């Protein structure tokens, strides 16, 4: 879901945290996180019109409905603005990269209290440049990991089979084969007549790097096809990987607020924002797994096309003869000419081909958000409070992709010889445009809501008024995100490497809710709330909540809540097309009996004796949506205290405990794996698709290409922990001092499965499904100290994120057993904790101007080394955040008249 930002509370992922704008729902970002989780993009509302952000950190389905299991983030916009205000800001990292600029302007007129109206307009522009790994210091900028005991992933040295590095070079390699079983650019049989060789042996490597294997390396079984000559190599991290995309945001907002009569106030607000993120990536590769598609991999054993384009049938090859692409059938000596791209054509041999195209791929996500809201609130009949609000929101996402190879067009240019593989730089723009036509995908989402509430004091209790409120809401939500790479017309009528995922769905939700607050006496307040939601898709739920507040004496408040909530299945879970994620299947997990069919020397103890077909083994886990999913249910309780021992000193401690049942998940693939390896019947609920036959071992049973399974309601997820807070303020006369500290301790984040087995993730890299392999930190904390003296204010903030063990039970390790530790000399068994310090200084010049300077990550500490997390290269993006940019500077000026 590139270009968007989401919030997640309590380790329960983005889809269990509800985001509201002024108490009203917002449209989902059109793309789903990991193809499953719908979420609201926080970039939707410009921050210059934000008055405050309210965070409710306990279950709130009783008030707001679905998805509020972990809590609610409510963005409140300014009700009134008078005058002219703006900001000019620029920033850059100490290394000279990560430049960013911001410009804002807000103008408003009218005084609600005196004139009965206010209107304001606000606009902004923000730009942040792309940051590439090549901008960073070592080791974050190179594939070479030898500095901390890891492998040199540039040269690969032949240790694990040079083919791993050989097949990703930005040059083309060919291997001679007998002309058997060749059809339309795909070879399904034949015998190898030699090793691979560089297609153009006289050309320099495009990357500028090369190696030549020695006799010992060439003798390794996994290197059976590796060339005796030059192998072009790349530092893929340095050349292609990015840290963050280029971002550009522009938007405008307007609001009109007016009093109506003596006791009411109405408003109308509009927002527009355009967010664009763009980045380039690795060139397209002729080798490796291709996209699953919507109908494939069921196509994988039918129509002939490359197993690297969609696993299951054949290897891409250059024919002996070329002929016009409109020619029906294969090219022959009768209807064609010798292929200039095939160096073996004159000998009557076809040429298998692998390598990379020179052109990088490019992706741009441009999201335009339109939002309008209006409402009226006030008091009628002297004591009846009312409010009516309505909102409409539309998100329009355009995804433009360039440089991606269209499969059928690749087969076309191979057939007619119009693409020059020998010297790719000589290809015309027309040929490149045909091979890699621009893909434009248009997605959208919508939200329309009307909500009304009534509130009234019905009695007076010793502690205050007994208040009751009731309300109702009707909203429509929909997502229209069709596949950007469908294969409805066949497996070759799509792009190589683009995921085929897509989802389309809509529903209407009707809700009724109520709340009562009863201050029994000064020391005791009780509350109760409940909400009933009914979905047009057939689901319904009632969510109750109870609250108790006890004040035994003035300085101490004790509070507690108990609630039940739910999460409605996301559109991506109920209505989506299949989505596939690839997981590495190490040889150590394959039974010995299965490996023996590939030769006596192929064992888990001697993986170099196995063919590269197995050593580069990954499995596509294809997830199928299910329209029959039930809502996830939750039970939540919290308890806390607030202690104010003396004036301007406050301490808080809050405990939370959340249990989610019927959690939506994919079933474990372990039963399907075991059955396939054993040659027994595949269990119900799974579909196993075999990969193409290994041409070097044609009688061996193929490895697995894909395992399909459908989402189910099965698991129980528990999350509990403690939040701590402390605030101190004192006026010393000549200066004022404020100190504020917050810390969160996670006691448990775990998943219990239907068979009773349990995985726990605290202090590890798990849960990969919930945290994308970015870990569950036991502690997170920050401590800010501010000194104000006249027009000058100085704030220092220390941020702390705990380290964690190299393990994850959902990745088949024990709990904190270091099972994922890479074994490099510089990594150890744990990732270290991370501490950064920020410094902010501001200077008021009269009342109209404020100048400020921020130094982020004052000491320039880079994140701890993490060689396992896959969300970023060699560091954890959640733990490290912007710390990977090193020391950063930001300066700006604010003005207001």
DSSP readout, 778-839?
SEEEEEEEEEEETTEEEEEEEEEE--EES--GGGT--TTS-TT----TTT-SEEPPEEEEEE
Q: What tokens were used for 352?
A: 């298998």
Asked whether 174 and 850 are in contact (CB, 8 A), the reply is: no
Whether 211 and 233 have beta carbons less than 8 Å apart is answered as yes
- C-alpha 151: how far from chain center: 28
**In the prediction, which pLDDT does 309 show?**
38
pLDDT of residue 290: 54
Distance of CA 389 to the CA centre of its chain: 32
Show the CA angle centred on residue 657, arms to residues 654 and 658, nearest 5°.
135
CA proximity to 539, closest of 498, 506, 568: 568
SS3 state of residue 415? helix
Give me the pLDDT at residue 221, please.
Answer: 67
- pLDDT tens, 388-415? 999 999 999 999 999 999 988 999 999 9
Side-chain-side CA neighbours of 655 within 13 Å: the count stands at 10
Q: How many CB atoms lie within 10 A of CB 25?
A: 24
Positions in the chain whose pLDDT score sits under 70: 1-2, 155-170, 184, 188-189, 221-223, 287-314, 582-586, 588, 612-613, 615-617, 692, 695-696, 770, 772
Distance, CA of 239 to CA of 656 (rounded, Å): 46
pLDDT of amino acid 301: 30
Give phi and psi for 509, each to the nearest 5.
-125, 125
pLDDT value at residue 298: 42
Q: Which of 386, 434, 378, 392 is nearest to 263 (CA)?
A: 378
Burial pattern 794-806, b for ≥16 Cβ within 10 A else e, equals ebbbebebbbbbb
- The C-alpha atoms of residue 764 and residue 774 are separated, in whole angstroms, by 9
pTM reported for the whole predicted model: 0.90
pLDDT in tens, 297-333: 443 332 333 333 333 345 788 999 999 989 888 899 9
The first and second tokens of residue 764, run together, are 């590890």
The b/e string for 345-372 (b: 16+ C-beta within 10 A; e otherwise) is beeebbbbbbbbbbbbbebbbbbbbbbe
In terms of Cβ atoms closer than 10 Å to its own Cβ (0-12, 13-18, 19+), residue 67 is buried
Distance, CA of 406 to chain centre:
26
For the chain, the 3-state helix, strand and coil shares in percent, each to the nearest 5, are 10, 45, 40
- CA distances to 786, 840, 855, 880, 881 from 795, rounded to whole Å, are 4, 5, 10, 21, 20
Distance CA 213, CA 842 (A): 61
Joined together, the tokens standing for residue 839 give: 């410094």
The pLDDT, as a whole number, for residue 328 is 87
Question: How far, in Å, CA of 512 to CA of 63, rounded?
Answer: 10
Residues 60 and 566 sit within 8 Å (Cβ to Cβ): no
Cα–Cα distance for residue pair 35/574, rounded to 1 Å:
12
Amino acid 160: pLDDT: 36
Q: CA separation (Å) from 375 to 77, 121, 239, 379, 761?
A: 14, 18, 53, 14, 45
Alpha-carbon gap, residue 670 to 284, rounded angstroms: 32
List all residues 6 or more positions away from 277 whose beta carbon is below 8 Å from its beta carbon: 2, 3, 245, 246, 247, 248, 364, 365
Write the DSSP assignment of 540-560 as a string of letters.
Answer: EEEEEEEEEEEEEETTEEEEE
Phi, psi of 883 (to 5 degrees): -60, -25
What φ, ψ does residue 336 adopt, rounded to 5°? -140, -175
Task: Pick the closest to residue 211 from 180, 236, 233 (CA basis).
Answer: 233
Q: Quick check: 277 and 365 in contact, CB under 8 A? A: yes
């Amino acid at each position: 879901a590139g270009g968007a930002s989401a919030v997640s509370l309590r380790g329960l992922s983005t889809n269990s945290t509800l985001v509201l704008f002024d108490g009203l729902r917002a449209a989902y970002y059109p793309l789903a996180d990991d193809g499953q989780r719908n979420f609201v993009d926080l970039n939707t509302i410009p921050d210059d019109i934000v008055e405050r952000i309210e965070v409710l950190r306990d279950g709130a389905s009783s008030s707001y409905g679905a998805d509020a299991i972990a809590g609610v983030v409510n963005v409140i916009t300014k009700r009134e603005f008078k005058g002219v205000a703006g900001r000019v800001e620029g920033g850059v990292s100490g290394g000279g990269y990560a430049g960013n600029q911001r410009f804002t302007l807000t103008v408003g007129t009218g005084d609600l209290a005196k004139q009965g109206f206010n209107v304001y307009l606000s606009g902004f522009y923000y730009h942040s440049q792309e940051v590439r790994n090549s901008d960073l210091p070592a080791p974050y900028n190179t594939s070479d990991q030898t500095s901390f005991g890891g492998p040199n992933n540039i040269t690969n040295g032949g240790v694990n089979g040079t083919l791993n590095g050989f097949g990703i070079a930005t040059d083309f390699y060919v291997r001679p084969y007998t002309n058997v079983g060749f059809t339309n650019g795909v070879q399904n049989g034949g015998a190898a007549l030699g090793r691979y060789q560089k297609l153009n042996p006289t050309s320099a490597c495009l990357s500028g790097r090369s190696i030549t294997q020695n006799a010992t390396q060439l003798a390794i079984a996994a290197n059976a096809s590796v060339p005796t000559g030059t192998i072009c190599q790349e530092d893929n991290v340095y050349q292609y990987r990015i840290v963050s995309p280029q971002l550009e945001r522009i938007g405008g907002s307007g609001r009109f607020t007016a009093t109506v009569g003596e006791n009411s106030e109405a408003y109308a607000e509009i927002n527009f924002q355009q967010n664009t993120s763009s980045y380039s990536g690795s060139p397209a590769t002729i080798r490796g797994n291709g996209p699953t598609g919507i109908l494939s991999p069921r196509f994988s054993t039918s129509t002939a096309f490359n197993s690297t384009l969609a696993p299951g049938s054949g290897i891409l090859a250059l024919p002996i003869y070329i002929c016009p692409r409109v020619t029906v059938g294969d090219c022959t000596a009768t209807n064609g000419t010798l292929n200039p791209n095939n160096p073996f054509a004159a000998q009557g041999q076809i040429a298998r081909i692998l390598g990379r195209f020179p052109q990088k791929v490019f992706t741009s996500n441009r999201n335009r958000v339109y939002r309008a809201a209006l409402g009226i609130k006030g008091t009628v009949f002297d004591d009846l409070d009312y409010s009516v609000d309505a909102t409409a929101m539309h998100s329009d996402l355009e995804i433009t992709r360039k440089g991606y190879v269209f499969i059928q067009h690749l087969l076309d240019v191979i057939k007619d010889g119009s693409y020059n593989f020998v010297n790719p730089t000589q290809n015309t723009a027309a040929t490149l445009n045909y091979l890699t036509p621009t893909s434009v995908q248009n997605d959208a989402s919508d939200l329309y809501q009307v909500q009304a509430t009534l509130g009234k004091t019905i009695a007076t209790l010793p502690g205050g008024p007994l208040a009751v409120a009731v309300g109702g809401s009707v909203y429509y939500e929909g997502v229209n995100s069709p596949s950007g790479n469908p294969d409805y017309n066949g497996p070759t009528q799509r792009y190589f490497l683009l995921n085929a995922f897509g989802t389309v769905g809509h529903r209407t939700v009707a809700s009724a809710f109520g709340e009562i607050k009863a201050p029994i006496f000064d020391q005791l307040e009780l509350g109760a709330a409940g909400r009933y939601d009914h979905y047009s898709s057939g689901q319904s739920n009632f969510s109750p909540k109870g609250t108790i507040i006890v004040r035994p004496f003035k300085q101490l408040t004790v509070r507690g809540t108990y609630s039940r909530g739910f999460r409605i299945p996301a559109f991506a879970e109920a209505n989506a097309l299949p989505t596939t994620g690839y997981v590495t299947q190490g040889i150590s997990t394959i039974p010995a009996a299965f490996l023996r069919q590939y030769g006596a020397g192929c064992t888990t103890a001697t993986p170099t004796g196995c063919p590269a077909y197995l050593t580069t083994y990954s499995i596509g886990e294809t997830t199928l949506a299910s329209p029959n999913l039930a809502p996830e249910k939750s039970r939540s309780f919290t308890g806390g205290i607030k202690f104010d021992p003396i004036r301007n000193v406050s301490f808080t401690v809050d405990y939370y405990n959340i249990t989610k049942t019927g959690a939506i998940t994919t079933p474990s693939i372990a039963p399907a794996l075991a059955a396939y390896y054993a040659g027994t019947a595949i269990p119900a609920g799974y579909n196993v698709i075999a990969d193409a036959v290994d041409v070097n071992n044609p009688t061996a049973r193929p490895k697995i290409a894909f395992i399909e399974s459908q989402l189910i309601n099965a698991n129980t997820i528990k999350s509990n922990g403690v939040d701590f807070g402390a605030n101190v303020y004192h006026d010393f006369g000549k200066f004022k001092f404020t100190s504020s500290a917050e810390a969160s301790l996670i006691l448990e984040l775990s998943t219990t499965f239907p068979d009773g087995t349990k995985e726990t993730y605290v202090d590890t890299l798990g849960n990969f499904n919930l945290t994308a392999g970015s870990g569950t930190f036991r502690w997170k904390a920050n401590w800010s100290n501010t000194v104000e003296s006249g027009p000058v204010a100085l704030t220092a903030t220390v941020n702390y994120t705990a380290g964690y063990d190299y393990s994850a039970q959902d990745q088949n390790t024990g709990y904190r057993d270091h099972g994922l530790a890479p074994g490099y000399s510089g990594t150890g068994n744990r990732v270290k904790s991370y501490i950064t310090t920020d410094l902010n200084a501001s200077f008021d010049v009269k009342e109209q101007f404020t100048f400020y300077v921020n130094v982020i990550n004052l000491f320039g500490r880079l994140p701890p080394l993490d060689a396992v997390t896959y969300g970023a290269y060699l560091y954890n993006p959640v733990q490290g955040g912007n710390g990977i940019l090193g020391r950063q500077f930001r300066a700006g000026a604010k003005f207001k008249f």
